[in-house]
Amino acid sequence: YSVAAFMIFSGLGLAALTATHRAPVLSNPDYAAPYFFIHYIPTWLSGIVFTALIAASMATVNGFSNIASAAITRDFMQGVLGLRFTNKQGLLWGRLWTFLLLAIALLVTYWRSSLIGIAGTEAWGLLAAVFLPAVAIGLNWRRGTGWGVVGSGLIAIVGGTVVTVTNWNPGGFFGIAVIIAASLIAYGVISLLTPVETLDPAMEAIVGMSSSSRVTTVAAGDPVSTP
């Protein structure tokens, strides 16, 4: 990860070189990182960075493809559609979905130009749109409800997918920024419109909503202060 982190600065480095007319303007921004490392970084260091990047990419693709195929097979086909599989059949379906998802990813990558920067920004933006209301606000706002999480999550997933597919970027900003704002607003509005939910005391202690100390009663009836 430390070596692959050099990739983060390659785009900024090439942008600075281009702005000062020391590097050409590339026809495709996806070529920024390899161009920078091939022409402006020592060969031995470029080889290490590319090796680390390939290893990290393989691990990420492997993990995401397995998670996606398992979600389709178990959560959707079995959980939603109610289909029943043996362990062997479930494994076969998982492998089939893994192959199909990788094939779709390859086709999208091949036919979609300038994909890396847009997909990366939209993916992290979508992640923020889904988890920001639930984590940043939900763990600190007692009035937040489960319906608020579900509603904001649906808006984030559907809206984020739409702006990614349509490449909607109003005013030169990534459209996912609008979706993040909409998700935050939806979380607050839906939470206020739905009934108050009472958390289990143990959960309140975990998320830090309880006081610094609680008083419990032992069998003998003596109060005992516990953290």
The domain ranges of the chain are 114-196
DSSP code at position 169: -
- Asked whether the beta carbons of 203 and 190 are under 8 A apart, the reply is no
Could you tell me which of 211, 11, 190 has the C-alpha nearest to residue 117? 11
Using alpha carbons only, give the angle 74, 77, 78 rounded to the nearest 5 degrees. Answer: 55
DSSP H helical ranges for 71-145: 87-111, 115-131
Higher pLDDT, 94 or 220: 94
Q: Give me the residue label for tokens 């050409």.
A: 24
Average pLDDT over residues 169-180: 81
Q: What is the mean pLDDT of the chain?
A: 81
Torsion angles phi and psi, residue 85, rounded to 5? -125, 150
Measured CA to CA, the distance from residue 77 to residue 85 in angstroms comes to 9
**Rounded to whole angstroms, how far apart are CA atoms 215 and 92?**
53
Q: Answer yes or no: is pLDDT of 152 > 90.
A: yes
For the entire predicted model, the pTM comes to 0.53
Q: Which of 104, 105, 108, 75 is nearest to 90 (CA)?
A: 75
Report, as an integer, the average pLDDT of 152-157: 91
The answer to whether residue 155 scores a pLDDT higher than 80 is: yes
Confidence tier at 10 by pLDDT (50, 70, 90): confident
pLDDT above 70 for 219: no
* pLDDT above 90 for 188: yes
Is residue 195's pLDDT more than 70? yes
User: pLDDT, tens digit, for every residue of 33-59?
Assistant: 889 988 988 889 888 888 888 888 888
Whether 14 contacts 35, CB under 8 Å: yes
Strand positions, DSSP E, the chain: 214-217, 223-226
Task: Judge residue 50's burial from the number of C-beta atoms within 10 Å of its C-beta, 0-12 exposed, 13-18 middle, 19 or more buried.
Answer: middle
Q: What percent of the chain has pLDDT over 70?
A: 84
Helix (H, G, I), strand (E, B) or coil at 217: strand
Write the CA distances from 119 to 25, 27, 37, 56, 114, integer angstroms.
21, 18, 22, 17, 9
